[in-house]
DNA sequence: CATGAATGAGAGTTCATTCAT
DNA sequence: TATGAATGAACTCTCATTCAT
């Protein structure tokens, strides 16, 4: 993890992230340890030690330990949730190109896998802490539920109307897709990261499973 | 949560769980607060307060806070993982009755949903803490991976050989099923417990999705 | 350590020591652990455990942990200090028989060595705790300083007047004797109990040293 | 007790003792209270209170209460044991000048008395706690037994060969000397510090006693 | 901007003692 | 007489946070 990585990942829209070397060290250390032991079980002194800064320095950059957590996780949630879906391409494809539905699905899966691969500790932190911090749930709400979900929903709706997908409710269809993808990602990167994985084949299988599961059979 | 509930849930095979009223109170309070705030963020003094006992009383019953966590979660993992699969019925059905494959799946899903419904806080605690405590991972390993998984794997293997299921690898097939079920349970009980749910329909949909996803289309 | 041992050792003049089996166990356990770790560092629950009784049982027999310490150490101090000197024989010998002065000294040394050998833990406890407990200092005061010291002092006084001993002050003479004996006992039983000791020779040497040290040379 | 005193006393060879005012206060308070009530019976909160610092401050300077004890007692043992004997003078005198044997003894006694007079609480702590802490026994072992004892032993050996001292075994001879000196110091400073003492005379008597006790009579 | 000593509240845990059984 | 569950104060130690330098 280097400065550029941290910068592009944690910078939020509309505000530049000022990064001294010390601040990068703090962020990197915090991400590592939060992921290892959980937010609550991590002490600021341990972060300072691993970051190679004085204990007080953390509090020059963040008002509190919680503030540090949010400074890490809020932008991370946005980057995890938004980017792919936000692109115009997706909408187009979902809406219009019958033949490429599974292609789009494959692209989405591949894209999210690559994102998590590069951000495993961050992914783990968000997964763990979103249950306990309202601010994170709200961030998720505001980005995914308010911005992304409507677009996807519309897309699925159209696909259903056009006769390609079964008439499961939209949340159900979406949950089916997301469960399958998240189930793979969590197994792949958190539960059994050491196992040998044939990712290409797994992706193929997921696409096939999902398509068979939610598509109309003719 | 009352005494009987706690007793049957947390009693481990081969050893009786001695339950005084105070001990039940401690367990109930600990389960509630661990689920609300996470293990690390929970203080023993808060548990004692909610349980209506002196703080020292907790340590008469459990050697440490960690020991209390394990006393709650280890038996819970066993009860979550083992019971359903351990029954003979399942094996029989899986192996022999072609037509009832989806029936078995439906029974399994229904059964696990009912279990979680009665044990939401416990389910949440296990989900959160298994990432940080080796003892829990080992308990899961010993029960699910060592005892249950082989049976399921054999069943799937036979179903594949008999031509009913696609030749996805067994872990892949299983992960596909489990992801779908866990995705529903987590959404239903943890993410959106307040929403209106038509569970019967959701179960039907899951069964249909999964069967279409993993079965051979003729 | 058995019942008889404890009984004769801890029974104080004028009051019988009622000893149930449990009480003996408590006393034996307390003596052992107090000696091992010191009074303050010993917990009543540890005593109860080693004694094989319930925690509450100790407090049926002794009002407090301190009371237990005093119940052990006060009679022990008396038995350590009084017995030998209280006998008439000694006084006689000290006063009258010139030639046997060193014989008496040898008898005294031998006698105290045997006493400590049989009561090492007790001796250690008294040595450690007398510094911190006024009651023990008073017990020592009342027995040794008030009862024994005057007799010895008189004896030494007479011996000096009769020309056998140097005119060191009586406390100095006594301190010289006691230092030598205590120095041996502490080295022998507490500092280097595992070493090979030729006790007979050491006693001879002590007697010789002391006699040469405090006697007049003609 | 002031800073300079504490500093020169507790500084160990080869490592400087960094002393802020608070740290000095902690050390002084700890020495006082450990001496008054014993290590185990002393609470860190009491030390903090007397030192005028927050309880947490103690643990910034010492990892644990035990660490504080060792930080006080280990250097104290070295300073108690090593200095006098380490000087060349002693060896020379012991080896060569027959007539000044008693002069050397007097110098040693005087020197150790002065040391203890300036460090009574420290002396008391070491005397009490060395029985219960292996680390202290090892410190004593490494300094006295390994460094000092061989020199003294050699000196006594030579004195015996040259016909001045009796052929008691060397440990016996040494124990005789040390018992007499320690007996005086303990009586003088711990048992009866309030009494009127004619130290010059007591020292003369000790020297006379010891010399008569261990020398050959011609 | 960075430090790290200092804080004091609160953490988990132990303790001597009590008391209903 | 003996028990052992229960207590709550006190214990050692950690923590997030502050602030003078």
Task: For residue D13, give the DSSP letter.
Answer: T
Query: Higher model confidence: residue D214 or residue A114?
Result: A114
Q: Rounded distance, CA C10 to CA C50, Å?
A: 20
CA dist D105 and D177 (Å) reads: 9
Rounded mean pLDDT of B14-21? 75
Whether residue A140 contacts residue A77, with contact meaning beta carbons closer than 8 Å, is answered with yes
pLDDT at C84: 63
Distance (Å, whole) CA C26 – CA C29: 5
How far apart CA C115 and CA C182 sit, in angstroms, is: 13
Per-residue pLDDT, C157: 83
Note the pLDDT of residue A27: 95
> What are the tens digits of pLDDT across the range C175-185?
999 999 999 99
Instruction: Give the residue nearest to nucleotide F14 (CA to C1').
Output: D56
For residue A153, what pLDDT is reported?
84
Q: Which of C92-106, C186-200, D62-76 has the lowest mean pLDDT?
A: C92-106
Whose C1' is closest to the CA of C55: which nucleotide?
F4
What digits encode the pLDDT tens for the residues C41-65? 999 999 999 999 999 999 999 999 9
Q: Measure, in angstroms, how far nucleotide E4 C1' is from residue A196 CA.
A: 47
Cβ of A131 and B128 within 8 Å?
Answer: yes
Nucleotides of F under 7 A from a protein CB: 1-20
- Count of helix runs (H) and strand runs (E) in chain B: 13, 0
pLDDT band at D188 (very low <50, low <70, confident <90, very high): very high
Specify which of A76-80, B60-64, B98-102 reaches the highest per-range mean pLDDT. B60-64
For range A46-56, the mean pLDDT:
96
For residue D6, the distance in angstroms to the closest alpha carbon of chain C comes to 24
* Distance from CA(A131) to C1'(F17), angstroms, rounded: 26
pLDDT-based confidence at residue B157 (cuts at 50, 70, 90): confident
pLDDT one-digit tens code per residue, C124-168: 999 999 999 999 999 999 888 888 888 888 878 887 887 778 888
pLDDT score of C51: 95
Protein residue closest to E4, using CA and C1': A54
pLDDT at A85 (0 to 100): 58
Provide the pLDDT for residue C87: 56
Whether C175 sits inside 8 A of D190 (CB atoms) is: no
The larger pLDDT score, comparing residue B91 to residue A5, is at: A5
Is C128 in contact with D124 (Cβ distance < 8 A)? no
pLDDT score, position C152: 82
Nearest CA in chain C to D165: C209
Please count the residue pairs, one from chain A and one from chain B, whose beta carbons lie less than 8 angstroms apart.
82
Region A121-131: mean pLDDT is 96
Which residues of chain B make contact with A176, given a CB cutoff of 8 A? 180, 183, 205-206, 209
Question: Alpha helix locations (H) across chain C?
Answer: 3-10, 21-37, 44-51, 55-61, 65-81, 83-86, 88-96, 101-118, 120-129, 134-140, 149-161, 170-185, 199-214
Q: Which of B86, B78, B106 lies closest to B17, judged by CA?
A: B78
- Write down the pLDDT at residue A218: 47
Residue B84 has pLDDT above 90, yes or no: no
pLDDT at B52 over 70: yes
| Chain A residues with beta carbon closer than 8 angstroms to that of B217 | 212, 217
Secondary structure, 3-state, chain A: CCHHHHHHHHCCCCCCCCCCHHHHHHHHHHHHHHHHHCCCCCCHHHHHHHHCCCHHHHHHHCCCHHHHHHHHHHHHHHHHHCHHHHCHHHHHHHHHCHHHHHHHHHHHHHHHHHHHHHCHHHHHHHHHHCCCCHHHHHHHHHHHHHHHHHHHHHHHHHHHHCCCECCCCHHHHHHHHHHHHHHHHHHHHHHCCCCCCCHHHHHHHHHHHHHHHHECCC
Instruction: Find the radius of gyration of the CA atoms of chain B.
Output: 19
Q: What pLDDT shows up at residue C166?
A: 82
Model confidence at D99, in pLDDT bands (50, 70, 90)?
very low
Contact B128 A124 (CB under 8 A): no
Query: How large is the average pLDDT for residues C62-80?
Result: 94
CB A33 within 8 A of CB A58: no
Which nt has its C1' nearest the CA of A20?
Answer: E1
Span between the terminal Cα atoms of chain B, in Å: 49
**Residue written as token pair 């003492």:** D197
Q: Which residues of D touch C214 (CB under 8 A)?
A: 209
pLDDT band of B86, cuts 50, 70, 90: low
pLDDT score of D202 = 95
Residues 6+ apart with CB under 8 A from C127: C186, C190
**Ordered domains of chain A (ranges, CATH):** 3-69 (1.10.10.60), 72-214 (1.10.357)
Residue D153 token pair: 């032993």
At A99 the pLDDT is 46
Which of B173, B212, B214 is most worth mutating to test chain A (most A CB atoms within 10 A of its CB)? Answer: B212
CA distance A98 to B185: 32
User: Each residue of A62-111: pLDDT tens digit?
Assistant: 999 999 999 999 999 988 887 665 554 455 555 554 445 677 788 888 98
DSSP state of C99: G
DSSP string, D16-53: -----HHHHHHHHHHHHHHHHH-STT--HHHHHHHHTS
Burial bucket for residue C78 (CB in 10 Å: 0-12, 13-18, 19+): buried
How many other C-beta atoms can be found within 10 angstroms of the C-beta atom of residue A126? 22
pLDDT score, position C99? 46
CB B6 within 8 A of CB B28: yes
Residue recorded with tokens 């949903």: B113
List the single protein residue with the shortest CA to C1' distance from E8.
Answer: D54
Instruction: Give the nearest nucleotide to B59, CA to C1'.
Output: E13
pLDDT band at residue D38, thresholds of 50, 70 and 90?
very high
The more confidently predicted of residues A196 and B12 is A196
Residue C105 has pLDDT above 80, yes or no: yes
Instruction: Tell me what pLDDT residue C95 has.
Output: 52
For residues A51 and A37, give the distance between their C-alpha atoms in angstroms, rounded to a whole number.
Answer: 16
pLDDT at A125 over 80: yes
Let me know if chains D and C touch, i.e. at least 3 Cβ pairs under 8 angstroms. Answer: yes
Token reading at D105: 């003894």
Query: pLDDT tens digits, residue range B103-142?
Result: 778 888 998 999 999 999 999 999 999 999 999 999 999 9
* Interval B172-193 mean pLDDT: 95
pLDDT per residue as tens digits for the range A8-29: 777 776 677 777 888 999 999 9
What residues of D are in the C interface, CB distance below 8 Å?
37-41, 124, 128, 131-132, 166, 168, 172, 175-176, 178-180, 182-184, 187, 190, 202, 205-206, 208-210, 212-215, 217
Q: Which residue has the higher pLDDT, A123 or A148?
A: A123
Which residues contact residue B150 at a Cβ distance below 8 angstroms, ignoring those fewer than 6 apart?
none
* pLDDT (mean) for D88-109: 64
The per-residue pLDDT of chain D, averaged, comes to: 86
Residue B38 in this model has a pLDDT that exceeds 70: yes
Given a cut of 60, is residue D97 above it in pLDDT? no
pLDDT digits (tens, 9 = 90+) for C17-26: 778 888 999 9
Distance from CA of A65 to the nearest CA of B (A): 13
For residues D116 and D84, the answer to whether their CB atoms sit within 8 Å is: no
From chain C, pick out residues whose CB is under 8 angstroms from the CB of D208.
166, 213
- Looking at residue B215, the DSSP 8-state letter turns out to be B
């Amino acid at each position: 993890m280097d400065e550029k990585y941290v910068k592009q990942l944690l910078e939020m829209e509309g505000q530049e992230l000022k990064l001294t070397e010390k601040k990068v060290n703090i962020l990197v250390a915090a991400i590592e340890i939060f992921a290892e032991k959980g937010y609550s079980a991590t002490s600021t002194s341990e972060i300072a030690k691993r970051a190679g800064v004085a204990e007080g320095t953390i509090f020059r950059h963040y008002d509190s330990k919680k503030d540090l957590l949010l400074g890490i996780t809020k932008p991370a949630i946005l980057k995890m949730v938004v980017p792919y879906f936000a692109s115009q391409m997706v909408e187009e494809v979902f809406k219009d190109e019958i033949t490429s539905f599974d292609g789009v699905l494959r692209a989405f899966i591949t894209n999210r896998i690559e994102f998590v691969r590069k951000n495993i500790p961050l992914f783990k932190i968000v997964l763990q802490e979103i249950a306990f911090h309202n601010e994170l749930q709200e961030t998720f709400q505001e980005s995914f539920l308010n911005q992304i979900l409507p677009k996807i929903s519309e897309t699925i709706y159209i696909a259903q109307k056009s006769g390609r997908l079964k008439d499961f409710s939209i949340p159900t269809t979406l949950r089916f897709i997301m469960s399958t993808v998240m189930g793979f990602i969590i197994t792949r990167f958190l539960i059994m990261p050491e196992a040998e994985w044939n990712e290409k084949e797994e992706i193929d299988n997921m696409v096939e499973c999902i398509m068979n599961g939610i598509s109309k059979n003719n």
